[in-house]
Structure formats: C-alpha cells, structure tokens
Structure 1
Amino acid sequence: MALDIATTGNRAAVDRVLTASLRTSEGTAHDWILDPGSDPLSVARGKGHGVTVERARAEGVPAARALAEVADLVAAHLASGELLVVWFAPHVLSLLHAELLRHGVRPLTERLPGGVAPVCDPLVLDRHADRYRPGRRSLEAVTRWYGIPHAHPGDAASDAEATLALAQAVGACYPAVARLSRPVLHAEQTLWNAESSRHRQAAPDWPMTPVEPLPWEEPPPG
C-alpha cells in the first residue's frame, strides 16, 4: 500500500493536510479531500498540487473524519506486517502525526506498539542504490529516470500510484534490495537515510518524528 498527502506546506507541526490518497498493488484506491476548518490558512508557494484552501473547505469532508479513516486503514495494513510505501516518509508521516493529534484522532504511534513499521521509502532506496547519479531526486525526476508514468506530479493520487510503481521498479533493478525481508528493509533504511543525510543540511529522523501540533503561522515570504 502507498500513501501520499497534499498539504499547505512542509512544516510538520504547523501545516495541514488538504488531500490524502492510498493505493494498493491490487488496484484498490482511497481518496479524501479534507476540510481544514476555519483557521486563516494559506498554501505555501511552490506546492504543485493545485488544491486551494477554499476548494478544500467547499468540497472536503471534516478533517477529523477523513484522518480517522486514513489512520484506520494504514494502521491495519502495518499491523498485518505489510509494507507501507511512502515517498519522503519523514514529511508525510510526521505531518500526518501532528494532524491526527490536532483533530483528536489516535495517532499511528499509539496504534502500533512495535512502531510505525515496516515502511518502504523509495527516496531512501534510490539514494542508497544509485548514490552517485547526478541530478535532482524529486519524485517527478526519479520516476522519469525509472520510466514510471506520473501523470500529475503533486497530486496525491498520482503521487501515490507513482510511488508504489517506483518501489517495485527499484526492487527489480536492485535485487539485493528486493531480497531483504520487510523488517530488515525497514531497519536498513534507517541507516541508509542517516548515511545519505551526512551530505545534506537536513537529516530528518526516519521514518518520522512524532511532533506536537502548533498553531497556524503564515510561512515566511520567498
């Protein structure tokens, strides 16, 4: 199962989920648009999903209800031992955690005594398996490299579909990665993420940081 969200921005404790999508290898699809409530929100510049706060309020279901449905499905999937595929998991799972707390929904960390696992992050896999390849490592760029169709970059549904296909493609290209058991793959990604982060300014915990929600603040200009 692959999870993706479209948000107002990238600040895990502050920003809000506007849409969420789940895709499975069997073809099951779940999509939500969330009404984020009446806080004076705005979408940060550079977010490519095209979902405005106004549209989310007009078309969305109450955020608490949608988030509870997402958490129920994700927790049940992980509790069964199946991989949850998430592109840039620290962003998605940390922001989701804060949103669950903000809306009074039991977070994944409380539903899964063994931790939020096993997770498969194709960004971490690609950085480890092909560490010297030049160029950007955005989802759009990496799917293009592997020849994965990605019709609408930034859209949660399209991103979830592309992420699931990308995880399968990386496994096919690098059999040593594909042969790892799910628990070992999860553990190895923690190490690979730390290793690749040494060369970048940001080194987020992987697969998530359980942050507490903070009140809304307008993003800095620029």
Structure 2
Amino acid sequence: MPDSWHRGRLAAFDIETTGLDVDTDRVVTAAVWRIDTTTGAKSCTEWVADPGIDIPEAATSVHGITTEYARTHGRPAPEVVTAVAAELGYLVGRGVPVVVFNAAYDLTLLDRELARHRRSADLNSGLRVVDPMVLDRRVDRFRTGPRKLGDVCGHYGITLDGESAHGCRADALAAARLAWCLAEAHEELAAMTVDELHTAQVRWRAEQAASLQAYLRRTSDPEAVVDTRWPIIPAGG
C-alpha cells in the first residue's frame, strides 16, 4: 500500500468548547497539526479564544480552561475561528485529508462560529475528512464498550506521549495516529482513495446514526433523534 492516503501528508484538527451544543456553544481552544507520515515531521498550531461567554465549570473540568484564563490569554473569538478556518483551508487546498474524531461535532461547531461572527469561509469546499470514530465503528461494529477517543485509542494501544489529556493538541494528534493504525490494520480502508473514503464515510455515518437512533428508541427514548449527516450538519435543520 505505498500510495495509500495514510502514508503521506495528513492534517489533524480538534477543538475544546464551552459545551456540547453545536448551535449555541463556543470554541475555547483549537489545534491543527500538519503531519508528514513519510518523514515523521509534524508541527502544530494552537489557539486559545475568549469565547465571549462564561465557560461552564463542567467544560472547564474537561479541558482545564477557565473563563478568567480565556479572557486574559485568549484572542477574540472572531480572530481565532477565522485563523483556524484559514489554516484548514490552506491544507485542504493542497489536497491534504483532515483527520477529525467525531467530525460532525467539531466541524459543525466551527461552521456555526464562523456564521455567528459573520466570517466568510466555506468549510465544505474540497474538504476530505478522515473520521476515526466512523472508521472504527465500520471495521469493528460489534465491539462492546464506549467509543470515545480515549477508549478507542486505548483499544489500539495509542498513548498521548505525555501530552495533557483532553487538550485539543493531544486529542488531534491521537486521532491522527488512530487513523493511521486503522488504515494499517484494514485493507478495506487503506485501498480507498481519499475521495472514495470520504464518500464511504458519509454512508457509514448515516447507517451508524440510524442504528443508534433505533437502539435508543427501542431501549430508552421513543422519540430519540440522531442526526445522520456528516461531516458538517447544515444549519437550520
């Protein structure tokens, strides 16, 4: 598999936020890695944003950023989300696939932030995403247990190499390593072109979401709705 998508240049993206609602919550930190898997060279750009609202204690307990810290050390949110989108756009424009674990969350929230601050950026243009969450559920669909990033990395023996847990820098790099491991282990994934893989993930994510929705309606919530769209959920429904 010398020409497989995972044996070349990759980008990796992650954000930490004020909460879990992609339409109302805000970016607090962001990281974008540039990785060359052929040489091992890698670099990361990180941002801290002042989200313009208080950061709930529940969110701070995950990523460690307090409201006071963000206001003191963070750049204005419009500047940060514009810079993040510009970095992603630069890499996408050069054909680099972007690894994002649970892409429908991170990319959708970034899309809403850009709209909120009236910053023009078409995140969908040319974007090719590799989502290890979708890939793992595809190749090992019957494995029991949680499927958060830390859980999946633990299953594949991936560590954070001393990076702070639950920080966007560490999480993005772990996601990239996870994508590489999945492609190395599964010919089905490695044999696809980036375009083919992206298109397949749209379908796989929809199937996975529909299955989860059916399970929730059967076991706990008769009205549960799990959005099937990926990697960016369109605004307004």
Give 2:111's match in structure 1, choosing from 89, 97, 104: 97
How do 1:1-222 residues align onto structure 2 when only pairs under 5 Å count?
A: 1-25=11-35, 26-37=41-52, 39=53, 41-43=54-56, 45=58, 48-109=62-123, 112=125, 114=126, 117-150=127-160, 151-201=163-213, 202-211=226-235
Q: Report the TM-score when normalising by structure 2.
A: 0.82
Q: Secondary structure at the match of 1:48?
A: helix
Q: Secondary structure at the match of 1:199?
A: helix
Larger Rg: 2
Q: Give 1:45 deviation, angstroms.
A: 2.6
Flag the 1:20–1:186 CA change in 2: closer, same or farther, 3 A: same
Q: Secondary structure at the match of 1:87?
A: coil
Partner AA of 1:155 in structure 2: G
CA distance in 1, matches of 2:57, 2:93: 34
Identity %: 34
Flag the 1:179–1:44 CA change in 2: closer, same or farther, 3 A: farther
Q: Secondary structure at the match of 2:136?
A: helix
Q: Does structure 1 retain, via aligned residues, the 8 Å contact 2:210–2:228?
A: no
Q: Does structure 1 retain, via aligned residues, the 8 Å contact 2:135–2:201?
A: yes
Partner AA of 2:45 in structure 1: H
Q: Report the TM-score when normalising by structure 1.
A: 0.87
Q: Does structure 2 retain, via aligned residues, the 8 Å contact 1:7–1:18?
A: yes
Q: Does structure 2 retain, via aligned residues, the 8 Å contact 1:8–1:44?
A: no
Q: Give 1:10 deviation, angstroms.
A: 1.0
Q: Give 1:153 deviation, angstroms.
A: 3.2
| Count of residue pairs brought into register by the alignment | 206
Structure 2: give runs of 5+ residues left out of the alignment: 1-10, 36-40, 214-225
Instruction: State the structure with bigger RCO (CA 8 A, min sep 6), 1 or 2.
Output: 1
Flag the 1:55–1:44 CA change in 2: closer, same or farther, 3 A: same
Q: Does structure 2 retain, via aligned residues, the 8 Å contact 1:190–1:206?
A: yes
Partner AA of 1:43 in structure 2: P
Q: Does structure 2 retain, via aligned residues, the 8 Å contact 1:86–1:119?
A: yes
Q: Does structure 1 retain, via aligned residues, the 8 Å contact 2:101–2:149?
A: yes
CA distance in 1, matches of 2:70, 2:95: 33
Q: Give 1:211 deviation, angstroms.
A: 2.4
CA distance in 2, matches of 1:143, 1:6: 18
Q: Give 1:198 deviation, angstroms.
A: 2.0
The CA RMSD measured in Å over matched residues stands at 1.6
Structure 1: give runs of 5+ residues left out of the alignment: 213-222
Report Cα offsets for 1:71-120 as digits up to 9, x if no partner: 1110121122220110000100010001111122112347x2x5xx2111
CA distance in 1, matches of 2:235, 2:149: 24
